Chains A and B, each alone.
Chain A
């Protein structure tokens, strides 16, 4: 099989996940997109492992082993990630990423008075 097929599919999936990470508003959807990216990498790993083991370049099946590890790590990541998202949701009442702007300039604390004071300071 032509190696380009899995490689290109992997690249496209990766970029699709990338788009999802950058564009999605809901944190859980972002996590899904991260999963897509991880899977794209896995596909790459498997394809290259098959190719290299056939060509007797690699006898350790490192690609497949790494894929397994990636899957495991991804599972752990999704667990922790969901816990964090739930904690955030409990605290903030939302899981929309673009509403979590605590690090924004001038919006450190959401009190309008403080914002106004900082704005006047900025304009002064």
Chain B
């Protein structure tokens, strides 16, 4: 959990960081928009983790991730917002849908989508939420983001900082992606060999196409980058 760094930041004196005169109960238009979109996002996320229709969960995830992209835009981070739309909405969710289909997830309502662990999970999640919200509100009660002036996350700014200061991690990340690519291939090849053995054994060739699908996944990611 990312509580500890948040806390250390919160412990820092932030009076100087806060822009001076903001009415606590006088929301601006951006704030109202953020709040509304945030509500939609949170609702979509809740439906994602509670719905009994598995495919619907993926679709509600699209709504939640799209809402987050809008929030990025509202925070003036436009490049991140487009990347979010491209990668998450465009490919990750598609991949997840593929995965659902390949594992023959039931279409329609499945009564056992949640495990017996749900009440424990609910308790833990609620406790975590209460604790986080309490800490965050206490820490940043008097902190405002100044959204006036030039945008903080335009493509130019982001690109400049990324290729000026973050080139090395960026390249290292490409190595990580390569490793993920190789790993996905290895995993699916093993699966393929096993599927072949199974097919030889009992003549069941139904799983054959499923074995191939994970392979293009990292390739798509690479292209998206």
- Chain A interface residues toward B at CB < 8 A: 1-9, 11-29, 31-33, 35-36, 39, 41-44, 46-51, 53-55, 57, 60-62, 64-65, 67-69, 71-80, 82-87, 89-91, 95-98
Is the beta-carbon distance between A76 and B214 smaller than 8 angstroms? no
* Count of CB-CB pairs between chains A and B under 8 Å: 304
**In the complex, A2→B18 CA distance in Å?**
10
Which residues of chain B (53-81) have a CB below 8 Å from chain A? 54, 57-58, 61, 64-65, 68, 71-72, 74-77, 79-80
A-contact 0/1 string along B130-163, CB 8 Å cutoff? 0011001100110111110100110001100110
Is the beta-carbon distance between A87 and B75 smaller than 8 angstroms? no
Contact A46:B77 (CB < 8 A) given known A12-B133, A15-B125: yes
Interface size class of B (residues with CB under 8 A): 35 or more
Contact A12:B17 (CB < 8 A) given known A19-B125, A76-B221, A83-B187: no
Chain A binding surface, main DSSP class: helix
A-contact 0/1 string along B87-123, CB 8 Å cutoff? 1100110011011101101000000111111101110
Is the beta-carbon distance between A49 and B221 smaller than 8 angstroms? no
